[in-house]
Structure 1
C-alpha cells in the first residue's frame, strides 16, 4: 500500500513546527511533508525529523502576505524562481525529500505558460535526480493561480515529456475544480506521483465527499506504485483525536516492500 505522510504545515499545529515530526511518528505516520520548511535551518530540520522520511516540500512561495504564490509561471521573475528552486533542491537533497512541488504562482496568458514551460524544463536539467510535481489549485482558494485545472496540467506534462515531473493529485482541489475527484483520478491517475487527501467539502479529516480512499489505496497496492499519500487537511479538533482514517486505511493494506 502507499506510505502515509502527515502534512506538518497543517497537522499537529498544537505544538511548534520542530516538534511535529515526533508526534507524527508516534501517531503512526510513515513520513511527513512540509510545505515551506524555510523558517528553520537545515540542521534544525534534520534533527527534528530524526530519520522520519520526508515525502515532499514546496519551492519557496515568496512573500505570502503580499500575494506571492511561487514564481515558475510569472514572467519577469525567472531569477527569483531559479534561486528559490535551487534552494529547495539543496534542502531536499540534505533532508532526503523525495519530491519538490514547483509552485506556479499568480499569472495568466500565453506568456505565463511559456515562462512556466521554460522554467520547468530548466528545473529538470538543474536537478535531474530529483522528482518534481505540479499541482492544480482551485481559484477560490488561490485566485489567479496559473495552474488551476487538471486537464491543463496533463497537457503541459504531455508536451514536456519529462518523466521526472509528475502530477500532484489533491482530492480537495480536484473536487473544488472539477466537481468529481473520482473522475479526475480516473482520467489522470497514470501521471500522478504524489497524493494529498482531505474530507470534502469540509477539508477536515479525510473521508466522504464521494471519493473512495480504500479503493485508491487498493489500486496503488495492486499496481505496486510507490506513491506517498499525505493527509493535508484542517483537523476539526486536536490532530491526534481525528486519526481514525489513518488507522482504518493502514489496517486494510500492506506496505510496498512488505
Structure 2
C-alpha cells in the first residue's frame, strides 16, 4: 500500500517546501496539503521536482475567519468561483492533480443549488483535474453542508462530470455512518481519494475504532493503486508518529 503525507497536519511546523522534503525522507510516496497559497508555487514545484513526489490535492480557501468554505453559500458565488479559479491556477502551477472544493456552513435547497452550480464551474474550468467533495462529520464541523456519502453520491451522479469525485475520509465517514467496508465497495466507482486517521481522536492510524489493516486490505482487494492520505494529528514531532507506516505499507 502506498501513502501520502497530508502536510496540513504532518510537519506543519515547516514551510511547505521543507515539509515536502521531510515527507520524502520519511518514505512517503506522495504528499497533499490544505491551503498552500502563502507559499510561492515555484518553490513548492521545485521541492516536488527535487523529491520526485506528486502533490495529490489541495483545498479551496475557507473564506473569512470562522468559515469553512464558500461554495454552498448563497450570495457568495462570485467569491467562491474566484477561489476555485485560484485553486485551479495553483494546482496547475505545481502539477497537483486534485482540488477539494469546500462547501462551507449552509443548509437547504438554496445552498444545494449554489453548491451544484459552483461544482459545475469547477469541473468545466479544470476538466483535466479531479474535483473532490468531502463529507465532514457534525462533531468537528457542525453546520457543514455536506455530511453523508449518500448526499455526495447524489451530487456526483446528478452533476454528470467524470472528474467530480468523492473524498472518502475514513475518519469523518466512520463517525457519521460506519460500515466502511461496504461503503468502500459500493462507492468505489466515484472515489477519487481516500484518507485515514484514528477514530475518535484523529490520531495515528494504529488504534481506535477502525482496523486500518483491514481497511487497507479492502482497498487492495478493490484494486486501489493510488496513495492513501495520512491525515492525522500527531502527538509530538511528526517523525516520532510514524510507527504505523511499515505495517500498513506491507499490505
Q: Same fold (TM over 0.5)?
A: yes
CA distance in 2, matches of 1:126, 1:153: 20
1:182: how far off?
3.7
CA distance in 2, matches of 1:15, 1:125: 34
Residue-pair matches, total: 249
1:185: how far off?
2.8
Indicate the residue corresponding to 1:61 in structure 2: 62
Indicate the residue corresponding to 1:48 in structure 2: 47
1:243: how far off?
1.0
Local SS of the residue matching 2:250: helix
Deviations 1:179-226 (A, max 9, x none): 444453344233211011001112110133443423333343344434
Indicate the residue corresponding to 1:89 in structure 2: 88
Q: Is the 8 A contact 1:166 1:191 kept in 2?
A: yes
- Give 4+ residue runs of structure 1 displaced > 4 Å after superposition: none
| Normalised TM-score (structure 1) | 0.89
> How do 1:189-228 and structure 2 match up within 5 A?
189-228=188-227
CA distance in 2, matches of 1:44, 1:34: 15
Deviations 1:61-98 (A, max 9, x none): 222xx222111111111111111111111111111111
CA distance in 1, matches of 2:20, 2:210: 28
CA distance in 2, matches of 1:222, 1:204: 25
Structure 2 alignment gaps of length 5 or more: none
Indicate the residue corresponding to 1:146 in structure 2: 145
Q: Which stretch has the larger CA shift, 27-36 or 45-54?
A: 45-54
Structure 1 alignment gaps of length 5 or more: 253-258
CA distance in 2, matches of 1:107, 1:176: 20
Local SS of the residue matching 2:56: strand
Q: Is the 8 A contact 1:174 1:184 kept in 2?
A: no
| Normalised TM-score (structure 2) | 0.92
CA distance in 2, matches of 1:180, 1:238: 32
Local SS of the residue matching 1:154: helix
Q: Is the 8 A contact 1:181 1:211 kept in 2?
A: no
